[in-house]
Structure formats: structure tokens, C-alpha cells
Amino acid sequence: AAGEDEDGFIHLLLQAHELGALRLKTWAIRMAVHHFKELALRGALEVLPSTLLTEVLREVAVGYDRLLPSAAKGMRWELSLLPKAEKCLENTYEALTSPDLSCGAGACGTAGCSEASLVASFETPVRVHRIRVGVDLTKGDFDAAAANDAKLQYLTPNGWQDGNVSVVIRDRLVRDIELPEVLIAKAFRLVRRQRIALGLLLFE
């Protein structure tokens, strides 16, 4: 059976590791990587000592590097403000990721499009599990009213999908919002009716 064959790779890997048989160990690791999904789902890798498991996981990361999205934290993205930018703010990536909440970026709707959105486009798909948003509550027109109720969406081949997260900022300047599940996409946006403005927007 397929499961028995896969378990055989693990048994050989353990033996090769204990005996110092490097050529056999290299082959067994390669087979473990090839069958990694099935082995992991069945818990077959749990018998490996931590150092050997680390070797296998390292090879998985190397072998599937192009298919494994990186975490979004620290990665630069391109900002778009749709359908048009809010004139009173700086409206740059640097302003949105700076600790200075008084800069920021904003967008407003038009007669033909009532939804305003801040769009973050990455070069490659990334993983996002949290967003950090902030506004300067001390600055006139730039307050939480233009951020609250904004919805997070992510881009899929079928268009924008709802991330089941809404922005709510009341008694604090900055808020971390944990997502219900990790999202993987190349672009994300915060969208609300008529107008949206933020002093800080980070993806993690």
C-alpha cells in the first residue's frame, strides 16, 4: 500500500541517520520531501528526532520555495488609491507605513463609484495573518470616522473576496486586527463607502 511504502522511507531514513550512511540518508530525505504532504497528514514524521525533522523541513522549504508564499511582514508593496486619492493626505507607501500617524493615505468615491479603497499590491503572493491600522485622532478631518467599518478583501482569480474582517478604531490610535484565517494573495484592499483614510497600514 502507498502508506506502507511511505513509512518505509521513514524507516530507511532513521536507519541511515543512525548509521551515518550519507548517500542513503540523502535519498531517503528526497523521498520524504516528495511524499511530504501524505506523511505529514498521517503524522508519520513524528517519529523523527528533532534534528532530522529539521533537515527534512529545510529541504521542503528549499524544494518548494517557489510555491510557498512568504509572510507579508517587512515586504514592500505598491499603493493604489481608488477611484481617486484624497488630496489632503500624503498618499504614499512611506506615509502609510511610517509611525507618524498624521501623514497617511486616503481615497474617496466618485459619482460612478461609491466605494473608496486603499489597495496594497505585492510582487508575489504573500501570507497575511494580521493587519495593523492606525489613525491620528487629534487631527481634524483625519479621524476614525474615515476608517471604521472598512472591510478587508483579498484578490483571487475570481476577483475580490471578503476576508471577514472590519476595521473598528474607537479609543486607541493603533489597532492590531487578527484575521480569522491566514490569507494568501498578491493584493489586498481596505474598502468602505464614500471615503477611507488611514495613518498606518501594515500587513503581517
pLDDT higher than threshold 90 for residue 130: yes
Dihedral over Cα of 21, 27, 30, 36: its sign: negative
Q: pTM to 2 decimals? A: 0.76
- 77: number of Cβ within 10 Å: 20
The predicted-structure confidence for 42-101, as pLDDT tens digits, reads as follows 999 999 999 999 999 999 988 887 778 989 999 999 999 999 998 888 999 999 999 888
pLDDT higher than threshold 50 for residue 14: yes
User: Which region, left, alpha or beta, applies to residue 115 given φ > 0 means left and ψ of -120 to 50 means alpha?
Assistant: beta
